Amino acid sequence: MTAKNVKLNAIGLSKEAYSGAPSTLCKGCGHNAIVNQMIEACYEESIPPEKIVKFSGIGCSSKAPTYFLSRSFGFNGLHGRMPSLATGALFADSSLIGIGMSGDGDSVSIGMGQFKHVMRRNLPLVYIIANNGVYGLTKGQMSATAEEGLALKNQGQNMYMPIDIVWEALVGQASFVARGFSGDPKQLKGLFKAALHHRGTAVIDVISPCVTFNNRDDTLQSYAWGKSHEVALHELSFVPAAEDIKVEYGKGQTAKVDLHDGTHIILKKLRQDYEPKDRGAALQLLEEANRKQELVTGLIYIDPNQKTIFDIDYLPPSKLNRVPDEKLRPTRASLDDINAMMF
């Protein structure tokens, strides 16, 4: 394609400007769909790549940020510690959009403590859990999201109940909770767009099959099972602030969620009459879905107005990493005053 034919977005960038290094993940790995849809979402939303900072822990999923947004900032940290890394960095520059990429091992096994605390702080962060039920990078041991009874080659049988990370996010007061499926890329893109505009922690649990170690068609994190058991709550579209909402649906068929930056999420209801602003209803929905073994996908819960950690801690509008030393350092007189108070 000649340069003339390259389609540019509203800030004059081609999709190529949002790409990353070539993926070294296995062919068919669900995480590749997450990579591709994140590229699409950021390109279509015309977000400058330099406005984004990516964080991850350890795992095949945590390697994935290398494969999107090469022009963005990024930090690949320790296993299970992505949330504290993101908290520190976003405190230093709250003008950046944070994308945290994690796995079920990284967030639900070793990183569960960090996961729960970042929820209650409502750090503005797109928090993706690429959920395949196994530790893919270390050869497929079962993670805390593996279903009870799962039997995998070389791993034996899982005897324990799984942790539902969407449930944990809801109970932990997360302000945006969604579930996607790597086999449903269109919905994934919509969820990513909405999450990128949400002010607060946006948890997206993506059922993302490991085709190498959890590859049986009858297991809960496989493509085959997901395709035959997915129940999408709605068709989600995202409307930028400047655009009028022209699409008209019959009364009661759509729900509109207004976000803090003037953008809107439009939810066209599909099989269920579902209101994503009711946490109790969300918990009930999950309880039923888990009992019936259905993969419910879509925006499960949102509170666009929940206070973030930046509101709670009165973060000044100026970015902390640009405040000069003279302003950061307390004066001798103020230190003397503090010391005097201690005696």
Ligand X SMILES: Cc1ncc(C[n+]2csc(CCOP(=O)(O)OP(=O)(O)O)c2C)c(N)n1
Site residues for Mg ion, 208-247, by CB under 5 A, read: none
Question: How far is residue 320's CA from residue 95's CA, in Å, rounded to a whole number?
Answer: 10
Number of residues that bind Mg ion (CB under 5 A): 4
Measuring CA to CA, which residue among 130, 104, 268 is closest to residue 190?
268
Cβ 81 to ligand X, closest distance in Å? 9
* 103 sits near ligand X (criterion: CB under 6 A): yes
Site residues for Mg ion, 115-134, by CB under 5 A, read: 132
Question: How far is residue 117's CA from residue 150's CA, in Å, rounded to a whole number?
Answer: 29
Cβ 136 to ligand SF4, closest distance in Å? 3
* 150 sits near ligand X (criterion: CB under 6 A): no
Interface pick for Mg ion out of 30, 57, 103, 190 (rule CB under 5 A): 103
Cβ 30 to ligand SF4, closest distance in Å? 7
Interacting residues toward ligand SF4 by CB under 6 A: 25-26, 29, 31, 60, 132, 136-137, 210-213
Assign 179 to helix, strand or coil: strand
Cβ 206 to ligand SF4, closest distance in Å? 12
Interface pick for ligand X out of 100, 136, 200, 276 (rule CB under 6 A): 136
Strand partners, 232: 297
Stretch of 96-104, 189-197, 236-244, 248-256 contacting Mg ion, by CB under 5 A: 96-104
DSSP class of residue 265 equals: E
Closer Cβ to ligand X, 122 or 208, answer by number: 208
Is the CA virtual torsion 181, 182, 183, 184 positive or negative?
A: positive
Closer Cβ to ligand X, 200 or 226, answer by number: 226
Site residues for Mg ion, 248-307, by CB under 5 A, read: none
With residue 63 as reference, give the H or E element that holds it: helix 60-63
Question: How far is residue 278's CA from residue 217's CA, in Å, rounded to a whole number?
Answer: 34
Binding-site partner at residue 138 among ligand X, ligand SF4, Mg ion, none, CB < 5 to 8 Å by type: ligand X
* 182 sits near Mg ion (criterion: CB under 5 A): no
Query: Is 133:145 a contact under the CB 8 Å cutoff?
Result: yes
Binding-site partner at residue 89 among ligand X, Mg ion, ligand SF4, none, CB < 5 to 8 Å by type: none
Among the residues of 184-222, which ranges form H helices? 185-197
Query: Is 167:286 a contact under the CB 8 Å cutoff?
Result: yes
Backbone torsions φ then ψ of 112, nearest 5 degrees = -60, -40
Query: Is 63:25 a contact under the CB 8 Å cutoff?
Result: yes
Closer Cβ to ligand X, 44 or 147, answer by number: 147
Interface pick for ligand X out of 34, 42, 60, 202 (rule CB under 6 A): 60
Stretch of 130-138, 184-192, 293-301, 313-321 contacting ligand X, by CB under 6 A: 130-138
Q: Which residue is nearest to Mg ion (CB)?
A: 103
What b/e sequence results for 230-243 when a residue is b if at least 16 CB atoms lie within 10 Å of its CB, and e otherwise? bebbbbbbbbeeee
Stretch of 59-67, 187-195, 236-244, 260-268 contacting ligand X, by CB under 6 A: 59-67
Task: Mention every residue, 6+ apart, whose C-beta is less than 8 A from residue 64.
Answer: 23, 25, 31, 34, 35, 56, 101, 130
| Chain-centre distance for alpha carbon 255 | 22
Q: Which residue ranges make up the site for ligand X (CB under 6 A)?
A: 58-61, 79, 103-106, 110, 130, 132, 134-138, 143, 210
Q: Which residue ranges make up the site for Mg ion (CB under 5 A)?
A: 103-105, 132
